[in-house]
Every structure is written in structure tokens, then in C-alpha cells.
Amino acid sequence: MMRDCKNGKVWLVGAGPGDAGLFTIKGKKVLDQADVVVYDKLVGQGVLGMIPDQAELIFVGKVSGNHAVPQHEINQILLREALKGKRVVRLKGGDPFVFGRGGEELELLCKNGIPFEIVPGITSAVSVPAYNGIPVTHRDFVSSLHIITGHTKKKEEAEIDYHSLVKLGGTFVFLMGISAMPKICQGLLEAGIEPDMPAAVLERGTSAHQRRVVSDVTNLTKDAEKAGIKTPAIIVVGKVCALEKEFHWAEDRPLGGLKIAITRPKDRDSSLADKLSMLGAEIMLMPAIETKEIKNNKPLEDAIHDIRRFDYIAFTSPVGVTAFFNKLREMKKDIRDLGSIRFAAIGTATRDAIEKMGILVDLMPAVYSGRALGELIAARSAELGSKIGRKPEILIPRARIGTDEVTTPLEEASIKFTDVAVYDTFEAESNEKAESGNSHGTLIEFASEEADYVAFTSASTVRGFAASCGLSNFSDVKAVCIGEKTAEEARKYGMEIHISKEATIDSIVECFLGL
């Protein structure tokens, strides 16, 4: 029986082959509750971006030439953290039990009575060929699938019975066998496999920059060396490899082959990421800024106590909408207390946030900018003033660092307004600060992630990215900006600029499609 560990427990979670969309629903639910996440290099960045802020990170993979943490030490880490009563997630690329050493990690946990669960992941042995148009089984070609490791615990190269494999036939998938490719191909040939048997090597499968070399067993090593294939990669041998010419699909999607970094507040979902992902892009979420509601906000409380003196409430962001209505609920009020107040939104995202609260938006400018919003409110307020016999009053709940774009037109029209800060915006910390504090809420090392474009949705995300991305020269950064104000900030850093026609999510998607 498993002894009481003060609720400490370990979950071995398969993160899949890299594409965040292939991470399982259960894996995500378990990850959301983690106190500690022990992860390796093969976990995709998209999955790493899902790790909650409260979790402590322990990296046990190989990076920058440093040796990987030995397996026995990883086993000890899992035991140590569980004995502290923590919820420990061992996040592993692929599946924990498909040559993922999951069984080895369980041995020590079982010996010490530590509760555990297994969350299977999608193995690269099946998913990577699929993303390259290679079905590992096909009734017209093969009747079996064999997954073989290129090396074992005791030896750098596995001892493989090639004669038995060749007699069995079917599709052979070799994991962790790139360095042993010459011996693998030679072994198959000596065992009697057809010299022209189709074979493929698949690099960085399921990522935007995946590559494949399709050849035959005789020439695969030579062709892979010529193409400069590197790890991580898998080898596939079998007649099904010839189907990739007909079945390839991943790179054919509208944004297939593009890796796009999206900067956004780390506590907000990204509809832009969802749209770009559906078009085939690999998404790297980079929390360049953080927003926090202002607590003990007396100016906002005073405004809400006297809310019916206002004729318009103007919102400049979805975050402002959330902060305002959170305070409304905190004060035991709801939309009935708002009376006949009209609502104005700077753009579609803000409008949608308001309408989720059960309120239809009265004003939204054709051009989504602070200036356009202020001018529209000023024009409509003049009309409203003639009806009610006084100058209307406007409430503007927004960020503390908000610009004067929206308020200048109101001042010019002598319209009374109350500008209330409801949230603060913080730019991400530098990588050095993040590393020293074991923080992962900031940006990963951007320079090593090979993003093709960076999507910026505000000037503050540009500044947060610049402070945290690990770059000293930004001339190679291809920035896709949601509006001129954002582009103006990106130009300060010398980035290559692309600007959406409108300041909307759909427009920035169209901008990507036109690149």
C-alpha cells in the first residue's frame, strides 16, 4: 500500500511531439494544478507556455552542451518533491512509456510508496510521420508497425535483431537513432531488406520548421548528411514512406511552415493565437506584459457609488472591462445599478468583452484608436447634451499608464470626464532576473526559438518583448503590428515592420496571410 505523503503525488505526463495542439486535455488539467514541474528539452515550447505561474520549474534536460541530469538524479528529484507534499508533474516529450524512461522513474516512487498517475501522450513514432504525410500503417502496404530505440540504457547503440525485423516486414520506426543511422541502414541491408526499400528521416516533426528526407535504405544516410539533418529526428523504413508525395499536408496550410511569436498579457487567452494556429502556424506565446487590477481602488469605488451621474462609460481594453465589472460585483452591484448609461468601446475585442456582461455597446469608432473613440464620444455627447439640457459626463476606466489620445478630444470639446485607473501594466522582467528568481512568467530565450515573425498587439508588448527576449539587436525581428501606435514603438528598436490595415485581430490575421 502507498503510505501517506501529506498529499504529495507524482504525475508522469506525456507532452506529445511538440505541437501544443496535440497535448491531451487531461495533461493540461493536471498541469494546471502542479506545484512543481520537472521537464526536459523535448517538451514543446507551446506546452511549456501552459505551465501555471505558481509552479516551480526544474529543468532536467540537455542544453547548450551541458550534460543532462542523470536519470538516477531525476528519480531522486521526483521523490524529494513528492515527500514535501507537493503535486509533482514530470513533463516528458512524447509518451512516458514509449522509450521515455517512465518505468525507471516509477521504480523509486513505488519503493517509497509515493502515489502516482500516468497521463499518456501522443508518441512521435506515430504523430511525426503523420505530420509528414506518412501513414505508419496502410492495408495495401504493411500489416504491422515496429518501434525500435536507437540506443539503450547500457549502450549508446542498441543491439537490434535486424534479421528478425526484416522477416516480420511492416513499417519500422527508429527513435533516437540518428547517430546510429549508418549502422541501422547497413544492418537492414545485410539482413536482406530490399535495397530500394523506401526510407525517411524526419526532423523536428510537428513543428513549423519540420524537415524530411525521403530516400531508400541504401541512400538514406548519404541523403540525410547532404541535407544536414540534425536531432531531434526519427527514422522510418517501409513502403509507406513513398506515400508522402501524395499525402503531405502540414506545409500546405495557409500559414504552414511559419513559427509566430505572439506577445500578450500572460493572464489572457489569445484569440489571435487560435486563429493563426488553425491556419497552420506554430504559435509561441510570449507573455511580454502582465496586467493586475488595482486593489483598494477608492476612485473607482467613488465613481460606482455615484454611477448614475455618468452618461457614457468608455472602455479602451477588455482588461478594463473585466476590472470594472469585478469591482461592481465586489460592491454587491450589478447591471441594474447602471440604469440607462450608454457604453462605448475602442474596438471589437473590447466590445465583445462588454457584451459578455449582457450589455450591448452603443458606440464604437470605425477606426480602432483612442483618438477616434474620443472624437466619436465628443460628437455624440454634443447631440445628447442638447436633449438632456446639460453637458454629459463620461467615465473612462482604463490602465494607469493610458495615453491622452482618448481624453484630448473630450478636453477640446469641454466635455467633463472622470479618468479612473483600474489596472496596472507591468512589462516582463529581463531573462537574468527571471532566471535568478526561478520565474517562468517572463519570456523564454527568444534568440534560440527561431520565430519567423512576432505579433505585437500594443506598444507595451513591444517594450516588454525588447526587455526580455535576450536580443541586443532587433534588426532581424519581423514585427507584425496591430496598428500604427504599436508600429511606432517597434520602429524605435529597428525592427522590420508590417502593419495590419485595421486594429483588429481579424485584420492582423489577414496581414499574416498576405506576407
Distance, CA of 397 to CA of 301 (rounded, Å) = 11
Compute the residue count for the chain.
515
Peptide bond into 232 cis (omega under 30): yes
> For each of the chain's 515 residues, which pLDDT tens digit applies?
344 456 699 999 999 999 999 999 999 999 999 999 999 888 988 888 888 888 999 998 865 445 578 889 999 999 999 999 999 999 999 999 998 889 999 999 999 999 999 999 999 999 999 999 999 999 999 989 999 987 655 555 568 899 999 999 999 999 988 989 999 999 999 999 999 999 999 999 999 999 999 999 999 999 999 999 998 999 999 999 999 999 999 999 999 999 999 887 655 557 888 999 999 999 888 777 778 899 999 999 999 999 999 999 999 999 999 999 999 999 999 889 998 899 999 988 899 999 999 999 999 998 878 899 999 999 988 778 777 778 889 999 999 887 888 999 999 999 999 999 999 887 765 444 344 334 444 334 555 568 899 999 888 889 888 887 878 899 999 999 988 889 999 999 999 999 998 888 889 999 999 99
The upper half-sphere exposure of residue 260, i.e. CA atoms within 13 Å in the direction of its Cβ, equals 30
- Cell of residue 6, nine digits: 501529506
Give the Cα-Cα-Cα angle 134, 285, 371 (nearest 5 degrees). Answer: 130
Distance, CA of 387 to CA of 178 (rounded, Å) = 78
Report which residue type is found at 401.
I
Q: What's the DSSP call for residue 1?
A: -
Report which residue type is found at 45.
Q
Residue 388, pLDDT score: 78
DSSP count for the chain of H helices, then E strands: 19, 19
Residue 264, pLDDT score: 73
Q: What's the DSSP call for residue 66?
A: P
Distance, CA of 136 to CA of 118 (rounded, Å) = 25
The upper half-sphere exposure of residue 108, i.e. CA atoms within 13 Å in the direction of its Cβ, equals 18
Residue 370, pLDDT score: 87
Give the strand pairing for 342-345 and 312-315: parallel
- Cell of residue 175, nine digits: 527513435
Which of 512, 490, 488 lies closest to 500, judged by CA?
512
- Quickly tell me which residue has 523504413 as its cell: 237
Handedness of CA 16, 18, 23, 29 (dihedral sign): positive
3-state helix/strand/coil string of 261-304: EEEEECCCCCHHHHHHHHCCCEEEEEEEEEEEECCCCHHHHHHH
Distances (CA, A) of 107 to 102, 115, 153, 494: 9, 12, 15, 54
The upper half-sphere exposure of residue 39, i.e. CA atoms within 13 Å in the direction of its Cβ, equals 24
Beta-bridge partner residues of 213: 201
Please identify every residue annotated as catalytic. Answer: 40, 62
